[in-house]
Amino acid sequence: MSAEDQVQELWKAFQAMSVELQGVKTENALLKQMVSAREHPTVELPSMPLSSGKFDGSPKRVKEFLEACTVYFTFRPRTFATDQAKVGFLISNMTGNALAWATPLVTSANECYTA
């Protein structure tokens, strides 16, 4: 094999590696986006139609509220894939005393994450 043939072979190998490298870079960028989306999921919370409305903290309604939430979590596993999504859903369906109790807990938890 002549020197010119060897150069052409090397050039072809270089071009093939360049194409493969570009493919790896593209795949890497896509994987980074996927990881970022998992770390910072955007959750669109569905409304929860409880027959008596949002949970107000009444001890008599705790069981009904938790059962309704459990049904939502069970039948929408992708929507509620993280504990954060579940807690957000619970709190978004609270009012009155229940919301007043939950709000400081969320605020202090957010301060821990941002510190």
Taking only the tens place, the pLDDT of each residue in 32-91 is 777 776 666 555 656 666 666 789 999 998 998 988 888 888 988 888 888 888 888 888
Location of structure tokens 């986006």: 33
**Unique residue bearing structure tokens 């493969």:** 20
pLDDT at 27: 84
What global pTM score does this model have? 0.52
pLDDT tens string 96-110: 999 888 888 776 655
Q: Indicate whether 17 pLDDT > 70.
A: yes
Structure tokens that stand for 1 in this block: 């094999």
- 89 touches 48 (CB < 8 A): yes
